[in-house]
Amino acid sequence: MNLDAKIPSGPMAQKWGKHQFDLKLVNPANKRKYEVIVVGSGLAGASAAATLAELGYNVKCFCFQDSPRRAHSIAAQGGINAAKNYQNDGDSVHRLFYDTVKGGDYRSREANVHRLAQVSVNIIDQCAAQGVPFAREYGGLLANRSFGGAQVSRTFYARGQTGQQLLLGAYSSLSRQIGLGKVQMFPRTEMLDVVLVDGHAKGIVVRDMVSGEISRHSAHAVVLATGGYGNAFFLSTNAMGSNVTASFRAYKRGAAFANPCYTQIHPTCIPVSGEHQSKLTLMSESLRNDGRVWVPKSQAVAEKIRKGELKASDVAEGDRDYYLERKYPSFGNLVPRDVASRNAKEACDEGRGVVGSGLGVYLDFEDAIGRLGESAVRERYGNLFDMYEKITGSNAYKNPMTIFPAVHYTMGGLWVDYNLMSNVPGLYVVGEANFSDHGANRLGASALMQGLADGYFVLPYTIGQYLAEVGPDDRPSVEGSEFAGAEEKVRGQIDQMLSIKGKRTPTSFHRELGQIMWDKCGMARNKAGLEEAIKKIPELRAEFWDNLNVPGENGSLNQSLEHAGRVADFLEFGELMCRDALQREESCGGHFREEHQTPEGEAKRDDENFSFVGAWEYKGENQTPELHKENLVYEEVKMTQRSYK
């Protein structure tokens, strides 16, 4: 497997501009001769589909939701980063680039990150022009707030619903193209395979989730914008429908899967409340601007709180441990997510957790309300406080929130080059579904930035190179043998799952897998635990194919069947995640190997042996995948031990 990143030559700040000029173009009159498939309609997918159609390409866009407006991008709360420097506080493209590389613990591809920082400034203009209602200061200028891992205020926001507002902006552009007939939208449709013709991605096989109909679609190129794989852990902040199926089935067709062990644990989520839960709820990182994280200094006081004998307000100021402010005075509560999460786990492991399970810490707004007034806090975070009260029954204006880390985002994804094309020609991957920009840990408010950068400003340029090379005639018929073979494979798996008639539901297998993944490949990992997981997961997978029960039939709406197909993929993918975590004998960002930490308990990298992207090649069913390495070379940034102290 050849992992040619196609990084342009020249100075870092000029690479993207030079590359744009060097790329081949498709004549405007010829663009209408090309068909592009976009799978996914979140920020990356909707922006890509709308922009490609605006350029003149014919686009088919597929999503499994009933509307693109329901893509999981809608759940993003806190904001979107951009190097505008409106606050005049020292921000710049270079500083955003540096913060992102450092935040990712020096495990991202430098050139991609610099391009992301460059185009970030265009995103805000684009979205403001679409009518996205960004928060504004008293004088009418766009407002900013701070997020983790940065010492400047560069995050633009729309209260606590930034993702929703950005998605509505992208959806308005997409809807315009649907109305013009340039985008054909396929809602309630799930991609179940990629079709390769002569080694190039030329189409997909999909299932209509309402009727059960299986159909084939061909195109000149395929774009995957299908999000992350956090639901491999069962409990996560992701929508319950979020899955790895599209990416994983592309992997099984030859696309390399890069860094699957890089998962982000978000530090501010509502703690697990019991066995009945099927998902977790995020509380935006923006709350750490004004909220202070603390636990009691003493285990005895924490135990009384857990038993209900004391309230948070009963704990004197001198008996509170504001541990992030104490350990990281330069960044305080706004350290990166991996650092904040590990410290919360450490405090709870010491017996200082403040919820009944022992797994929870306080996020306290008493100081902010005293300093700013309740009305100012309500204006900034009102919808988040309302959501918290609806879920927990507690008023966060009067009592501290309780929070604990949970799976949130995945930095790993399908390997892509500088053009966002995978190692399979014609298969492009954008947004969270690719691996390219965040290294081993994503900074807060950078997911929305990457999704829109890829969709609005990168892919529309780079896809033209491939389309110009293959020409408008290179679109095969859906009647070809490759399409027939892919459809037969999809139908075979569906029939197999329906015919087992065992005793266990897809959810029971998913929950058991999630527990294995959280215990052995979660916030902290070690060799023994990962080896145990690699032994247990195939056993669970074998039971799945022997004892699964999927009621109903294929020819109608069947959510149990949908879930079964996704769990089948998670059961294979979970093993790949553990293998990647096992081979990476270092700690970096969200990948924390207990054997590799500094005396202070921080992540300890091994740059000499592990400064590479680990890209896995599928070798067949029940075969060990093969690891390929793309070495990471840093020209602009000097690799150092991260410090936020």
For residue 276, pLDDT over 90 is answered with no
Cβ-Cβ contacts under 8 Å for 515 (sequence gap 6 or more): 234
pLDDT of residue 384: 94
Give me the phi and psi of 416, to 5 degrees please. Answer: -135, 155
In this prediction, residue 113 carries a pLDDT of 98
Q: According to the model, what pLDDT value does residue 9 have?
A: 96
Q: Name the band, by pLDDT with cuts 50, 70 and 90, for residue 436.
A: confident
Alpha helices in 273-331 (DSSP H): 299-306, 323-327
Convert the pLDDT of each residue in 407-424 to its tens digit.
Answer: 999 999 999 999 999 999
**Beta strands across the sheet bearing 320-321:** 263-269, 401-410, 361-364, 292-296, 320-321
Query: Residue 159 pLDDT more than 90?
Result: no
Share of the chain above pLDDT 90, in %: 97
pLDDT digits (tens, 9 = 90+) for 448-461: 999 999 999 999 99
DSSP secondary structure, 55-108, as one string = HT-EEEEE-SSSSGGGSGGGG--S-EE----TT-SS--HHHHHHHHHHHTTT-S
Name the token pair of 376: 């100012």
Q: 196: helix, coil or strand? A: strand
- What's the topology of domain 30-262+411-470? FAD/NAD(P)-binding domain (3.50.50)
Question: Which CATH number is correct for 266-408, 3.20.20.70, 3.90.700.10, 1.10.8.60, 3.40.50.2000?
Answer: 3.90.700.10
- Which residue type occupies 168? L
**C-alpha–C-alpha distance, residues 296 and 319, integer Å:** 6
Alpha helices by DSSP H, 548-604 = 559-583
Question: Residue 34 and residue 473: Cα distance in Å, rounded?
Answer: 9
Nearest to 479 by CA among 142, 86, 217: 217
Task: Determine contact, residues 100/108, Cβ cutoff 8 Å.
Answer: yes
Count the helices and strands in the chain (H runs, E runs).
19, 19
- Would you say residue 270 has pLDDT above 90? yes
How far apart (Å, rounded) are the C-alpha atoms in residues 48 and 378? 35
AA identity, residue 314: D
Question: What was the pLDDT predicted at 111?
Answer: 98
Say if CB 283 and CB 403 are below 8 A apart. yes
Would you say the CATH fold of 266-408 matches that of 30-262+411-470? no
pLDDT at 135: 95
Q: Tell me the three state secondary structure of residue 93.
A: helix
* Average confidence score pLDDT of the chain: 97
pLDDT tens readout for residues 565-578: 999 999 999 999 99
How far, CA to CA in Å, does 483 sit from each of 37, 61, 202, 247, 486?
15, 19, 9, 18, 5
Within 8 A by CB and 6+ apart from 539, the residues are none
Residue 129: CB atoms within 10 A of its CB come to 9
- pLDDT confidence of 348, banded at 50, 70, 90? very high
Q: What is the pLDDT of residue 182?
A: 98
Helix pair angle (43-55, 459-470), 10° resolution: 60
8-state DSSP, 283: -
**Conformation bin of residue 500: beta by default, left when phi > 0, alpha when psi is -120 to 50:** alpha
Residue 56 has pLDDT above 90, yes or no: yes
Confidence bin at 47 (pLDDT 50/70/90): very high
Please give the Cα distance from 528 to 542 (Å, whole number): 22
- Per-residue pLDDT, 136: 94
Binned at pLDDT 50, 70 and 90, residue 552 comes out as: very high
DSSP 594: T
Of the chain, the percentage scoring pLDDT greater than 70 comes to 100
* Residue indicated by tokens 């308005």: 172
Distance CA 108, CA 92 (A): 19
Nearest to residue 78, comparing CAs of 150, 173, 138? 150
Supply the DSSP string of 17-59, one letter for each residue. HHHHHHS----HHHHTT-EEEEE--SHHHHHHHHHHHHHT-EE
Q: Smallest Cα–Cα separation from 250: which of 613, 532, 569?
A: 569
Q: Token pair of 354, please?
A: 């403040």
511-527 pLDDT tens trace: 999 999 999 999 999 99
Name the β-bridge partners of 79.
none
pLDDT at 274 exceeding the cut of 90: no
Euclidean distance between CA atoms 496 and 383, whole angstroms: 45
| Structure tokens that stand for 615 in this block | 């890209």
Whether 275 shows a pLDDT value over 90: the answer reads no
pLDDT tens for each residue of 133-156:
999 999 999 999 999 999 999 999
CA torsion angle 124 130 136 141 (round to 10): 70
Region 112-138: mean pLDDT is 97
* Phi and psi at residue 375, to the nearest 5°: -65, -35
Look at the block and give the residue holding tokens 């997981």: 533
Q: Give 464-493 pLDDT, tens digit per residue.
A: 999 999 999 999 999 999 999 999 999 999
What's the pLDDT at 469? 97
Domain ranges of the chain: 30-262+411-470, 266-408
Yes or no: say if 296 and 369 are a contact pair by the CB < 8 Å rule: no
Report which of 331, 233, 252 is spatially closest to residue 570, judged by C-alpha positions: 233
pLDDT tens sequence across 209-220: 999 999 999 999
Q: Which of 412, 315, 396, 384 is nearest to 354 (CA)?
A: 315
Closest to 441 (Cα-Cα) out of 112, 99, 80: 99
Task: Please give the helix or strand (H or E) that residue 361 lies within, else none.
Answer: strand 361-364
